[in-house]
Every structure is written in C-alpha cells, then in structure tokens.
Amino acid sequence: MAEKIRAGVLGISHAHAIGKLRTIQASPEYELVGICEPDAELQQQRKDEEVFKGVRWLSERELLGDDTVRVIAVEGRVQDNLALAKRAVEAGKHVHLDKPAGESLEKFKSLLNLVKRENLLLQMGYQFRYNPGFELAMKAVNDGWLGEIFFVHGSIGSTINPESRRRLAFHPGGMMFELACHLIDTLVALLGRPEKVTPFMRHDADLDDQLADNTLAVFQFERAIAVMESAAMEIEAGQRRKLEICGTEGTIVVQPIEPPAVRLCLNQAHEDFQKGWQSVSVPNIPRYVRDFEELARCVRGEQQPSYSLEHDFIVQETLLRACGTLM
C-alpha cells in the first residue's frame, strides 16, 4: 500500500463540505491532517458539532504552511473559494475546488494559469463526473452508439428552505448557478462550447427574497440543442432529476441520477446491449469517492486528470452565460 497522502479541508461553509470531509476520513488513500475555517466566528459556532468530533482545527497558516500536506479540499463559501484556492496553490498544494468556480471568470482564469505555472493539480467538485450512470452515458456517446447527438435535456431541482434561499440569492443565476452547474459540466464534456446560450432567470415562489428560483437555459450548438433546468420549489425533486441524451442512433436516460437508474435505446446492438429499449443496471457508488480516488492517482503520477483545465474554464464560462451574467 502506497503511503497515504496528507490532506486538509479549507472552509466548512459549502454544502458539500461535510461529505468531502467524511470521504477523506474514510479513504485508504488519505490522511486527514485537519480542517481550517478562516471565519473564527463560524468555527466557534460549529466546532462542537458531532461531525467534527476528533478532528483537528488548524489555522490557515498551520494548514497551508505544513510542507507535508499535499492536497487541500477548498470547501468555503463559493464567493470566497477562488481566493482560498489561490492561497493553497501559492503554498504549493494540489487543490480540490468545490463547485461552481466562483463568480469571476477572470479570477478563475488567473487561478488556472497559476496552477499551470506551479505544475499543480486542480480538480473541480462536480459530483456526477464519476456517477456510473453518467459514465455509461459518456461511453455511449464517445463510442458512437447514439450516432450524432442532436438533443440533451437535464433537470436538477430541489426544495430549498427560506434560510438557504437567502444564502443562495447572492448570485443572480440562483438555482442555475447552484445546481445546474453539475449538468452543464457534463454538457460541455459531451458537446463542447455552445455557440449561443439563452438564459431564463425567474423568481416565481411567493417568498420575499431575490433568489432566481425557477431557471432554465437553452444551449445551441452547430447541430444540437440542449435545455437545462433547475428550480427551488420542487417536491421530492430527487426522483425527477435526470439527464437525457438523444442521438440519431439511440437515446440514453439517467433518471433518477442518484441512485442512478439507466434506460438505453439503440438502433443496433453494441457490446452487451441489445437493439431497442432496455433497463441497464449500474452500481450505486457514494458521491465523491471516485473523485478523490482519481485525485490520489494523479498526485502520485499514475494517471492524468480525466478533465482538463481548459474544460473547467469552458464549463465556468458556459455556466455564467447560462446565468445571464456573461454575454
């Protein structure tokens, strides 16, 4: 067994922070050195929560100044994470940066350039990249089973409580920014940079906040169109979350996304799959596990990242276009 990679968590405000903390703790690949919350007041409020029992709290200087720490999971507020990631990279650390990649495309580009100059790794925290249903969908597209892709549809809604709504309202993209970013990551992997993006950002709940809570964006490519949607008022939304990919030779539908259930239709048989519609069984692997497994292999030089920094930049650019904040 290779020596464990020493890792730390910087920030605890992100919705995925606890999941990432638990994943690192449970992984045979990593040794959790500790966590740092730069906001002393927030740390004081949360330090006694059960999830942090037995975890070392470190200052930012202690965490980033430790030369034995190789990986930092940046899990603060989205508004703060680019600055946190920049300081981690400047300290010589590989970074897992949770989604989405901040508010400023220029600052994200600057971070990516810094990562390149320092010959370090940056992995974005888009949680469906290693989802077995999405992996099968990508294989079906990349291996040509579906022919020429002409339509993609993604839906990822939720029920957001009033306190969380106020927290998410900082960005005019609202639910598109918060949740649909996951599906836009996959869309860009499938079809690249869209030629045109048309956003629809609406506030339709009878609540006095500024959250864009009913959102949709249309993406136009040379020979394809895509629609992505996300709302904050959907009851038991998990069962309707989906990714549909339609091509001239077949269709694949992942619904629900977690745990993944897949329906596949083929015009002709491929590998173990028959012509026509069929249900496909795929494993249910917990979120984040495969992300950090791949990151460990990349840190050790055993493989190259599955997603490039260029891809990550196009995803962020496309997301901001879908939010109506970048034209």
CATH number of 209's domain: 3.30.360.10
pTM of the model as a whole: 0.97
Residues 268 and 168 in one domain: yes
Residues 138 and 282 in one domain: yes
Return the pLDDT at 206: 96
321 lies in a domain?
Answer: no
The one-letter amino acid at 148: E
Dihedral over alpha carbons 196, 198, 158, 133 (to 10 degrees): -20
Which runs of E-coded beta strand occur in 79-175?
Answer: 94-98, 122-125, 149-155
Residues 158 and 16 in one domain: no
Return the pLDDT at 327: 83
Q: Give the pLDDT of the chain (327 residues) as one tens digit per residue.
A: 689 999 999 999 999 999 999 999 999 999 999 999 999 999 999 999 999 999 999 999 999 999 999 999 999 999 999 999 999 999 999 999 999 999 999 999 999 999 999 999 999 999 999 999 999 999 999 999 999 999 999 999 999 999 999 999 999 999 999 999 999 999 999 999 999 999 999 999 999 999 999 999 999 999 999 999 999 999 999 999 999 999 999 999 999 999 999 999 999 999 999 999 999 999 999 999 999 999 999 999 999 999 999 999 999 999 999 999 998
8 Å CB contact between 181 and 100: yes
174 lies in a domain?
Answer: yes
Return the pLDDT at 232: 98
Residues 215 and 92 in one domain: no
What is the rounded CA–CA span in Å between residue 159 and residue 140?
Answer: 32
Residues 120 and 223 in one domain: no
Residues 140 and 70 in one domain: no
Compute CA 147 distance to the chain's CA centroid, rounded to the nearest angstrom: 27
Instruction: Identify the domain boundary among 106, 125, 144.
Output: 125
Compute CA 133 distance to the chain's CA centroid, rounded to the nearest angstrom: 15
Return the pLDDT at 11: 98
8 Å CB contact between 327 and 228: no
Instruction: Identify the domain boundary among 125, 159, 186.
Output: 125
The total number of structural domains in the chain stands at 2
Return the pLDDT at 1: 67
Of 221, 9, 212, nearest in space to 95 by CA: 9
pLDDT, tens only, 259-313: 999 999 999 999 999 999 999 999 999 999 999 999 999 999 999 999 999 999 9
**Given the structure tokens 């999830």, which residue do they identify?**
51
Instruction: Identify the domain boundary among 125, 142, 167.
Output: 125
55 lies in a domain?
Answer: yes
**Given the structure tokens 């650390």, which residue do they identify?**
93
Residues 120 and 162 in one domain: no
314 lies in a domain?
Answer: no
Residues 205 and 233 in one domain: yes
Q: Which residues sit opposite 125 in a β-bridge?
A: 98
Residues 143 and 121 in one domain: no
220 lies in a domain?
Answer: yes
253 lies in a domain?
Answer: yes
**Domain limits for position 113:** 5-125
The enclosing domain of 95 has a CATH number of 3.40.50.720
End-to-end CA distance of the chain: 49
